[in-house]
Amino acid sequence: MMENGMGRGCSALACVVGLLVSPAAWAQDPAPTPADPGTAAAPPEGSAPPMEPTAIAPAPATAGDAAAPTPAPGTTEPVAEPPAPESQIPSWFRVDADGGGLQVWAGATHKVGPIDLASDIFLTTYGFAEFDIGPAFTLGPVILNPMVGMGFNFISRQPAALIAPQLYTFIDVKPVYFESWISTSFSSIFTDGAQDSFYTRDFLLVYPTDDFGIGPHFELTYGLNESAGDDAAGVPPSVADILSLQVGGVVGLNYGTGNKLLLYLGYETQAEDNKLAGRFTFIHNF
């Protein structure tokens, strides 16, 4: 539901995750974030939606490796490992750090009859938590993971957002890997005047070697309604318009057995100053 993954930068019930990280997300990864991907109000500049997501069920990993288990939302592309026994549940853990603070994801994929059911939990340092669930469909090198999620605010002790629909897509055609988080978050159904939003995180990695990939990265957060803002939380009023539009690049590194590092650096086109955006992601696949 959120390389989210279903921390799907945006709000959601995603990230998350994005790319997300997914949501939970990158999931195997799988959840794009959501993405980076879910928040009760519009996410801080440069952040990923809880999703985001996503994470979030991400997918297979790097050039020349065997396919990784079905990803869970909110994670990123999985690191290739020997196939797990059928009794073992594919699972993942993810940490994102960006303009929205620290986001922690955990997710797994369960076999329910003929269905691979992916789920994830997304937590932030500002009191937001999200749960996402949905089936993961594997079509050759493509994994599609539609999800629905619910966000909670543990500071106000109230539901924060309905995060649906969400869709996490993972394509691994070595040496090319593509990940996409799409998440819609509705917070106004629980809080009058809260921001509803649409979030997407998309990136592509090309692996010249098995352990190193590089490529372009794109993130968009669009406000779906007018928002009264929240002075106490430092969230300004906003209208139905582009809240965040980031473009940049991402590097993917295999980092020991079952580990993946993602380093994103981008440019926030909607900011008047402090236009630099970025995200550091660590993912471990069990």
Domain boundaries along the sequence of the chain? 1-286
The pLDDT assigned to 133 comes to 98
Looking at the whole model, is its pTM more than 0.85? no
Nearest to 148, CA basis, from 3, 6, 21, 7? 6
Q: Which residue has the higher pLDDT, 16 or 175?
A: 175
Residue 216 scores a pLDDT above 60:
yes
Residue 257 scores a pLDDT above 50:
yes
**Number of residues in the chain:** 286
**Does the N-terminal peptide bond of residue 29 adopt cis geometry, omega within 30 degrees of 0?**
yes
For residue 284, give the 3-state DSSP assignment: strand
Handedness of CA 66, 169, 18, 87 (dihedral sign): negative
Nearest to 29, CA basis, from 212, 286, 285, 278? 285
Residue 31 scores a pLDDT above 70:
no
The pLDDT assigned to 9 comes to 38
How much of the chain, in percent, has pLDDT values that exceed 70?
65
Per residue in 114-129, pLDDT (tens digit) is 999 999 999 998 899 9
Per residue in 68-91, pLDDT (tens digit) is 444 444 454 544 444 444 434 589
The pLDDT assigned to 271 comes to 86
Q: What is the dihedral of CA 93, 181, 149, 14, to 10 degrees?
A: 80
249, 211 Cβ separation under 8 angstroms: no
pLDDT band at 54 (very low <50, low <70, confident <90, very high): very low
204, 219 Cβ separation under 8 angstroms: no
CATH numeric code, 1-286: 2.40.160.40
The pLDDT assigned to 221 comes to 96
Lowest mean pLDDT among 3-17, 169-183, 209-223, 227-241: 3-17
Q: Is 54 left (phi over 0), alpha (psi -120 to 50) or beta?
A: left
For 38, the token pair is: 């879910």
The pLDDT assigned to 233 comes to 57
Which secondary structure element, helix H or strand E, spans residue 247, and what is its range? strand 242-254
263, 280 Cβ separation under 8 angstroms: yes
The pLDDT assigned to 35 comes to 37
For 35, the token pair is: 């993405």
Q: What is the DSSP string of 32-89?
A: --------SSPPPTT---------------STTPPPPPPP-SS--SPPP-PPPPTTSP
Greatest Cα pair distance in the chain? 53
207, 215 Cβ separation under 8 angstroms: no
